[in-house]
A and B are shown apart, each in its own frame.
Chain A
Amino acid sequence: MAEKIKAAIIGPGNIGTDLLMKALRSELIEPVWMVGVDPDSPGLSRAKEMGLKVTADGVDGMLATMKADGVQICFDATSAYVHAENSRKVNEQGALMIDLTPAAIGPYCVPPVNLKDALAAGSTNVNMVTCGGQATIPMVAAVSRVQSVSYGEIVATVSSKSVGPGTRKNIDEFTRTTAGAVEKVGGARKGKAIIVINPAEPPLIMRDTIHCLTDETPDQDAIRKSVDDMVAEVQKYVPGYRLKNGPVFDGNRVSMFMEVEGLGDFLPKYAGNLDIMTAAGLRTAEMFAEEMLAGRFTLPTIASV
């Protein structure tokens, strides 16, 4: 078996478990730890059955041995509130942090758009933005790499069952973080994000609409090609990422209508919003792992606090 980079997943909930199932198939990542806070968590038992080391004492329960266990990458699938502490602790142990919470203390990362920049910058913490951001920012970038975009707006519609209590309690964080990343990563001068939650049964598959307003008349052929290329890039890690309609051109408006179906690993297929987060997180880890294995990436030493 080829050499892999060892990883820990913090947070054994739906996202952490789905990520684990995807990581077990990876040729570059080997999940070795699952970290939780509740000894009765079904996610921890599942991880244990799959042969991972587990702890219910939070990140502290793993710190003593994580270096010896060779953990070089950690995923945080907990909440924004505890993320900063988790990140500081694992960075001190020489591991890179991939943040799936909306804490966004590290630079935003949307793999097909700016993963290479994150690698080049040697970040110790990268943030995966939001589900809506992962699903839509590649499309904003597909337009903005053709010509300048004065305004980018995304509308993410997700099924009620796929929106957890954390997101619900702080839905403003979704709109703010996503809008910020539409600008910083998507390349729109001004960004706006809207989220709509729909309780229909059977649950609807995540759908996203992306509107870009371009400064000059849109170059239709170039944008169509750029969008198709970008969809193909995202499909490499989320096969159910589909352009349903568009790009529609209406004056300076360019609109794309997407549907995101998940792989159905642990989460149901309709929850493409959650799937695209775990898939993007793993994709990011794999890119870092490739560099680590080739000896091109070492985490900068972090001074102990």
Chain B
Amino acid sequence: MDLRGKKVVLHDMCLRDGMHAKQHQISLEQMMSIAKGLDEAGMPLIEVTHGDGLGGSSVNYGFPAHSDEEYLKAVVGVVKNAKISALLLPGIGTVDHLKMAADLGVTTIRVATHCTEADVSEQHIGMAAQMGLDTVGFLMMTHMIEAEQIVEQAKLMESYGANCIYCTDSAGYLLPDQVKERIALLRRELKPETELGFHAHHNLSLGVMNSLVAVEAGANRIDGSVAGLGAGAGNTPLEVLVAVMDRMEVNHGIDLYKIMDVAEDLVTPIMDNPIRIDRDSLTLGYAGVYSSFLLFAKRAAAKYGVSSRDILVELGRRRTVGGQEDMIEDLALDMAKARGLI
């Protein structure tokens, strides 16, 4: 694979996707120190939001230690060069949240929908584009449909005003060839000026490999997370990706030693549990399940005496999508009843 001289914009997720792994309890001080470290390492984009995006604060997804406003204000204030992005899932957050984030200095808005439901993003993408923001259409769970269908949905988002489209492997399920097929077709079919991004989860240990494949196939934005801090087995570990890209002579603009230090000194120490591929996160990748279901399944399993792997496999079989966290306790109750446990 020859990626020499390719320019890639890296986007850090540890303060947004990482919120899942931290049950949305990252402190303001931790956010600020990590953001500052990332900024000094040359990270161009840092996402900061509740794990489920703006407005995600809820019983269903977890109440965060601080509001989106507090986190965004704190982080925007400490970075010098990095731009701050926010995630928004229509159905959870609204355009009011979007305006709030823009007012606080967020310059990139990523509007996320399930891969078949792009048309719920029209008002949010339209508004963000109208406000002159870097506007990203973020298609989740793209392993569930074929490349041609992804293109149709991406074109909708492009028509609403998105200047960048993401193909997101929310379950960490895609194999390298599947990433290649999806990104290559998107690159062929979307406008040449539309940027293309890829977001991985490391559940099958393919985060770095799939990200490289995506770049080769035409993606120019790659998400990852320092020390991998993210849902499931985490996102593509950025310091690893940077080291690999260094050796492949990719133009990424990051100081490798500095980002290694952020991972080791700032992010790893705040982890509640090691971010690794354990039995349950492996099941996410194997069964095609939304990565943020992980901790909910573990908790429901412990509470009702059923197996978290069984819960996750069943959620995959029922083709659940992102946001259906409420299914997990419901399903655990059904399983416990069926086994005569309650």
- A residues sitting closer than 8 Å to B (CB atoms) are 151, 153, 155, 157, 160, 165, 168-172, 174-176, 192, 194-200, 204, 207, 209, 211, 213, 244-246, 248, 253, 255, 257
Residues on A with C-beta less than 8 A from B92 are 175, 194
Are B59 and A153 in contact, with the CB atoms below 8 A? yes
Are B333 and A257 in contact, with the CB atoms below 8 A? yes
Are B90 and A172 in contact, with the CB atoms below 8 A? yes
Are A198 and B324 in contact, with the CB atoms below 8 A? yes
Pick 28 A–B contacts, CB within 8 A, sort by A.
Answer: A153-B58, A153-B59, A153-B60, A155-B60, A155-B326, A165-B119, A168-B117, A168-B119, A168-B120, A171-B91, A172-B94, A172-B96, A174-B91, A176-B94, A196-B91, A196-B323, A197-B117, A198-B114, A198-B321, A199-B117, A200-B318, A204-B318, A209-B330, A211-B59, A245-B333, A248-B333, A255-B329, A257-B329
What is the distance, in angstroms, from A168's C-beta to the closest C-beta of chain B?
5
By CB atoms of chain A within 10 A, which of B59, B120, B319, B324 has the most? B59
Decide yes or no: A169 and B333 within 8 Å by CB, A153-B60, A194-B92, A211-B59 being known contacts.
Answer: no
Are A244 and B330 in contact, with the CB atoms below 8 A? yes
Say whether B249 faces chain A, with CB atoms less than 8 Å apart: no
Say whether B313 faces chain A, with CB atoms less than 8 Å apart: no
Are A192 and B334 in contact, with the CB atoms below 8 A? no
Are A169 and B318 in contact, with the CB atoms below 8 A? no
Say whether B220 faces chain A, with CB atoms less than 8 Å apart: no
Residues on B with C-beta less than 8 A from A244 are 330, 334
Q: Which of B91, B119, B327, B333 contacts A194 (CB 8 A)?
A: B91
Are B120 and A197 in contact, with the CB atoms below 8 A? yes
Residues on A with C-beta less than 8 A from B333 are 245-246, 248, 257
Complex Cα distance, B304 from A246, in Å, reads 13
Which 3 A-B pairs rank lowest in CB-CB distance, beginning with the nearest?
A: A209-B326, A200-B319, A211-B59
Say whether B181 faces chain A, with CB atoms less than 8 Å apart: no
Residues on B with C-beta less than 8 A from A255 are 59, 329
Say whether B268 faces chain A, with CB atoms less than 8 Å apart: no
Residues on B with C-beta less than 8 A from A168 are 117, 119-120, 122
Residues on B with C-beta less than 8 A from A153 are 58-60
Are B59 and A198 in contact, with the CB atoms below 8 A? no
Decide yes or no: A157 and B59 within 8 Å by CB, A171-B120, A175-B91 being known contacts.
Answer: no
A-B contact count (CB 8 A): 89
Q: How many residues of B contact A (CB 8 A)?
A: 30
Chain A interface secondary structure, helix, strand, loop or mixed? Answer: strand
Which A residue sits closest to B98, measured CB to CB? A172
Residues of chain B in range 92-134 having any CB-CB distance to chain A below 8 Å: 92, 94-96, 114, 116-117, 119-120, 122-124
Complex Cα distance, B125 from A171, in Å, reads 13
Decide yes or no: A170 and B123 within 8 Å by CB, A153-B59, A257-B333 being known contacts.
Answer: yes
Residues on B with C-beta less than 8 A from A192 are 58
Which A residue sits closest to B319, measured CB to CB? A200
Which A residue sits closest to B56, measured CB to CB? A194
Residues on B with C-beta less than 8 A from A195 are 91
What is the distance, in angstroms, from B193's C-beta to the closest C-beta of chain A?
26
Are B319 and A169 in contact, with the CB atoms below 8 A? no
Are A245 and B330 in contact, with the CB atoms below 8 A? yes
Are A211 and B117 in contact, with the CB atoms below 8 A? no
What is the distance, in angstroms, from B139's C-beta to the closest C-beta of chain A?
13
Say whether B320 faces chain A, with CB atoms less than 8 Å apart: yes
Q: Which of B119, B320, B330 contacts A198 (CB 8 A)?
A: B320
Are A175 and B60 in contact, with the CB atoms below 8 A? no
Complex Cα distance, B243 from A76, in Å, reads 61
Residues of chain B in range 292-342 having any CB-CB distance to chain A below 8 Å: 318-324, 326-327, 329-330, 333-334
Decide yes or no: A172 and B95 within 8 Å by CB, A153-B60, A194-B323, A257-B326 being known contacts.
Answer: yes
Which B residue sits closest to A153, measured CB to CB? B59
Which A residue sits closest to B321, measured CB to CB? A198
Given pairs A168-B119, A172-B124, 7 additional interface contacts (CB within 8 A): A157-B326, A165-B119, A176-B94, A197-B117, A197-B321, A198-B319, A248-B333
Complex Cα distance, B331 from A257, in Å, reads 10
Residues on A with C-beta less than 8 A from B117 are 160, 168, 197, 199
Complex Cα distance, B60 from A253, in Å, reads 11
Decide yes or no: A171 and B330 within 8 Å by CB, A198-B319, A253-B59 being known contacts.
Answer: no
Q: Which of B58, B116, B123, B320 contacts A160 (CB 8 A)?
A: B116
Residues on B with C-beta less than 8 A from A171 are 90-91, 120, 123
Are A197 and B91 in contact, with the CB atoms below 8 A? yes
Are A209 and B114 in contact, with the CB atoms below 8 A? no
* Residue-wise interface mask of B (20-64) relative to A, using a CB-CB cutoff of 8 A (1 in contact, 0 not): 000000000000000000000000000000000000001110000
Residues on B with C-beta less than 8 A from A155 are 60, 326
Which B residue sits closest to A255, measured CB to CB? B329
Complex Cα distance, B59 from A209, in Å, reads 11
Q: Which of A169, A194, A199, A209 contacts B122 (CB 8 A)?
A: A169
Are B94 and A175 in contact, with the CB atoms below 8 A? yes
Residues on A with C-beta less than 8 A from B90 are 171-172
Complex Cα distance, B119 from A174, in Å, reads 15
Complex Cα distance, B59 from A105, in Å, reads 30
Complex Cα distance, B119 from A169, in Å, reads 7
Residues on B with C-beta less than 8 A from A245 are 329-330, 333-334
Complex Cα distance, B120 from A165, in Å, reads 9
Residues on A with C-beta less than 8 A from B58 are 153, 192, 194
Complex Cα distance, B333 from A257, in Å, reads 10
Residues on B with C-beta less than 8 A from A196 are 91, 321-324
